[in-house]
Structures are given as structure tokens and as C-alpha cells.
Amino acid sequence: MASGTVTAFDLSEYAAARRALIEQALESYLKESSPRPLWESMRYSVLSGGKRFRALLCLATAEAVENSDVRQGPIERAMSCACAIEMVHAMSLIHDDLPCMDNDDLRRGKPTNHRVYGEALALLAGDGLLALANEILIRKTPSDVAAATILDLAAELSRATGPDGMVGGQVEDCIATGLMSAGKGSTNAGEDKLSLLESIHKKKTGALLRFSAWSGARLMEASQPVLNMLVRYGDILGIAFQIADDLLDTTGNIQTLGKTPGKDLASGKVTWVTVYGVEGARKALADMEEEGNDVLRQTGFRETAIAPLSALLGYAIHRSN
């Protein structure tokens, strides 16, 4: 992971160390079981690479919070949550790639899940991962985390994935692209393009990134003002991550991206780039990087805790895949 931020912080080294732990934990939660094809299909999508950006974000906010009342180290405390997030993310990619949605053949440089296992199993592998993510979060979070905290996390993860989060954002996206009807009495009719785009990005991509930024700190029992600031940081990062994705669809190539570029334009998708152009998208990203870093400075975290969070924001914006 190459950093594009202005800080001297070495994100590659930081991310590599944590990514190894994340892979190990994911493997332990996804031991092959019965029915075998289902587990194979679930493992195929979760253990097939990926930047682990959301898991890193969760661990980074846990590590940023100093709380002497908490016994375990932040990574140990937040790892099950970080893995649950990656499972939800993987399931959303499986469903997003299905013929009834984006109809993609390539993901992370490999054939998409339904291309390998067929549509029915891909759909069920996604469903299985969503359920397993919740089970892991609830059962594998260390037992001295308060039950109320775990309940809060489970509720917020469900919210991030549900109608007010990823599912809602995907439906809005499908309506905007003409893949679904807006239905009778549509509320989208008078909505301007910017609010529609912001709503889609905030829900479809932003909700899980916001949860990732909030959840690590919540597990460390951070104060409410700090949690509010991390939600703000997560919101900025979430929209920026999707704008960068829109840009990469226009400027990226298949080798680096590991998926087919140019699909947004071909499918008539409403994106930041189709509405504001490449320069408009770059300008929005520059503003968001500044705003996100301002929010981080307000948290009162020590410099060494701000550095990874700032670098992750920079990475989300300047990444090449």
C-alpha cells in the first residue's frame, strides 16, 4: 500500500504488519466446513486479497484511543470486529458483481464469485458471510468488552449494511442508473444531482467506512465527543473513497485495478466524474483531504495516533487501486 499523503509516516510498513494479523484471523474464522461448496465460495471471496482498508481503519482508531481502564491491547480487542467488517465488505462485492447488478467478470484480478461458483451459490455465500460476520462480532469479541458495547456495535453494523446503509445506497444507485424503477410517488424526482450522488456514496460506500472508523474507538470506550469526530472523519473518508473509485474507473487500468475500468461510463452510471468531470472530482478530493485532517487534529489524539489515520485518508484519496 503506497501512501500519497504529505506526512512522513510509512503506511506500507504499518499496513503490512497489521494485514498479516488480519489475514490470520480471517483464516481462523473461515475454516472449511460443511456444506463444502458454500465454504469454498465464502473463502474464495474473503481470502482473495483486497487492501483490507476497512479492517485497518477499525484497528487504527482502536489504537488511537488511550484508555487505561481497558486491559487488552487495541488490536486484540478490535480484531473480531475488523474481520466482521471485511466479511460484510466481501459479501457486498459478491452481490454487487452479480449479473442482476453490475454484472462483473473480474474482481481483485480474479474471476468474480458467481463466475466460479454460479449465481445461486454466490448469492448464498454472500448471505452466509453476512450472518457469519454478525456471529463473529458478537461471539468472538473479547469477553471483557461490555455487553452493551457489543450490542451497540451489532446494531450499528446492521444499520450500516441495511436500508439506511449499503442496501439503501445500492437501490438508490440502481434507480439512478435506470436499473430499477423509482416507483410511485418517487422522492428522487426533484433531487439535484449533488444530493443524490452524496446520498448514494454516503450509504453504499460510506456507511461501512464510517462504521469502521467508529467501531475501533467504540471498542476502546472512547468518549462521545471523540466518537462524534471519528464519525465525521469516517463520513468524509467514505465519500472520498467512492469519489476516488469513480476516478479510477476513468483513469485506472485493468492490471492495477484488478477489475474492468470504464464500466461506469458504459453502464450510464451517475458518478462524481460523470457529473463534475475528472478535475471536479480531484478538486472535491483535495477539499475532503484538508477537511478530514482538520477533524483529526481536533480529536486531541497524540501525533503518533493521528499519523496512521491521516495516512489512511490520504491513501483512500490518492490510491491507484
Q: Does 205 bind ligand GRG (CB under 6 A)?
A: yes
Q: Is 20 in a helix, a strand, or coil? A: helix
Output the residue with the shortest Cβ distance to ligand GRG. 50
Alpha-carbon span 79 to 59, nearest angstrom: 7
φ, ψ for residue 143 (rounded to 5)?
-70, -15
Q: Does 232 bind ligand GRG (CB under 6 A)?
A: no
The piece of 5-13, 88-96, 147-155, 218-226 that touches ligand GRG (CB under 6 A) is 88-96
Q: Does 50 bind ligand GRG (CB under 6 A)?
A: yes
Q: Does 53 bind ligand GRG (CB under 6 A)?
A: yes
Q: Does 130 bind ligand GRG (CB under 6 A)?
A: yes
Q: Does 95 bind ligand GRG (CB under 6 A)?
A: yes
Q: In the set 166, 236, 312, 317, which binds ligand GRG (CB under 6 A)? A: 166
φ, ψ for residue 111 (rounded to 5)?
-55, 145
Q: In the set 41, 61, 161, 310, which binds ligand GRG (CB under 6 A)? A: 161
Q: Is 71 in a helix, a strand, or coil? A: coil
Alpha-carbon span 126 to 117, nearest angstrom: 12
Q: In the set 96, 104, 172, 235, which binds ligand GRG (CB under 6 A)? A: 96
User: Comparing C-alpha atoms, which of 26, 22, 50, 61 is closest to residue 313?
Assistant: 61
Q: Which residue has the cell 470506550?
A: 221
Closest distance to ligand GRG from the beta carbon of 230 (Å): 19
Q: Does 108 bind ligand GRG (CB under 6 A)?
A: yes
- CA angle (36 as vertex; 34, 41 as ends), nearest 5: 125
Closer by beta carbon to ligand GRG, 161 or else 299: 161
Closer by beta carbon to ligand GRG, 86 or else 289: 86
Q: Which residue has the cell 452510471?
A: 269
Q: Does 318 bind ligand GRG (CB under 6 A)?
A: no
* Helix intervals (H) in the chain: 11-29, 36-46, 53-64, 74-97, 113-117, 119-140, 147-161, 166-177, 193-201, 207-219, 224-251, 254-257, 263-266, 272-298, 303-318
Which x/- pattern, by CB under 6 A, does the window 255-294 give for ligand GRG?
Answer: ----------------------------------------
> Binding residues for ligand GRG, per CB under 6 A?
50-51, 53, 89, 92-93, 95-96, 101, 108, 130, 161, 166-167, 170, 204-205, 242, 245
